[in-house]
């Protein structure tokens, strides 16, 4: 559990103490014990070790490295829509972006944000018109390889089944769940 203040930590700790471990990621159960105004999740949390990582096989389109703040990444977020862009959080990456271009436009990209404890929290986004072609797996594979080379532990957070499938194809194992809330 992480919270922004000691006061909210005490409120959450006391409220969640009444729930079973399984119920802590159940939005309705949490709403029953805390003054929740917004919920994100639950989402599966997956991790991959260097020995379990299965790199994607490059296809006809190649992955190029871009600075994480490149303007073409913002255009990709626009094409994915507000909800898709927020879920992917590509704007938060601290690594380079690993991108695929088609017709000059970035149609898929991945990167990661380095978190405390040497975690590399992955961000992956594909233009809706280009989904289902293996581009998420291809770009994420490059980002995961980069994170592993830096001695980081790649973390994948996913709500959508398609995203969870991409993570599994790369060797990620689901080891937990996450529920994010905003308190009143």
Grouped pLDDT means (10 residues each) for the chain, 184 residues = 85 92 89 89 93 91 94 95 88 96 96 94 96 96 98 95 96 92 87
Residue % of the chain over a pLDDT of 90: 73
| HSE toward the beta carbon, residue 75, CA cutoff 13 A | 9
Strand pairing class (153-158; 97-102): unpaired
Listed in order, the ranges of the chain carrying CATH 3.40.630.30 are 41-178
Q: Which residues contact 78 (CB under 8 A, 6 or more apart)?
A: 85
Kindly report the pTM of this predicted structure: 0.86
Go through 22-35 and write b for each residue having 16 or more CB atoms within 10 A of its CB, e for each that does not.
eebbeeebbeebbe
Rounded distance, CA 105 to CA 129, Å?
12
**Rounded Cα–Cα distance for residues 81 and 115 (Å):** 26
- Which pLDDT value is given to residue 180? 86
Q: Are strands 153-158 and 173-183 parallel, antiparallel or unpaired?
A: unpaired
- How much is the pLDDT for 53? 98
Q: Which fold has domain 41-178?
A: Aminopeptidase (3.40.630)
Residue 144: its pLDDT value, please?
A: 98
What per-residue confidence (pLDDT) applies to 4?
82
HSE-CB for 80 with a 13 A CA cutoff: 26
């Amino acid at each position: 559990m992480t919270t922004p203040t000691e006061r909210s930590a005490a409120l959450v700790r006391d409220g969640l103490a009444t729930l079973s471990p399984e119920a802590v990621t159940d939005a309705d159960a949490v709403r029953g014990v805390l003054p929740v105004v917004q919920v994100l999740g639950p989402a599966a949390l997956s991790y991959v070790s260097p020995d379990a990582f299965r790199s994607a096989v490059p296809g006809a389109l190649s992955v190029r490295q871009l600075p994480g703040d490149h303007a073409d990444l913002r255009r990709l977020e626009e094409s994915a829509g507000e909800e898709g862009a927020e879920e992917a959080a590509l704007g938060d990456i601290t690594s380079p972006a690993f991108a695929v271009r088609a017709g000059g436009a970035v149609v898929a990209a991945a990167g990661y944000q380095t978190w405390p404890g040497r975690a590399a929290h992955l961000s992956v986004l594909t233009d809706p018109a280009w989904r289902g072609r293996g581009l998420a797996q291809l770009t994420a594979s490059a980002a995961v390889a980069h994170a592993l080379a830096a001695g980081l532990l790649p973390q994948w957070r996913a709500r959508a089944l398609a995203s969870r499938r991409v993570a599994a194809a790369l060797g990620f194992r689901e080891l937990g769940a996450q529920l994010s809330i905003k308190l009143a």
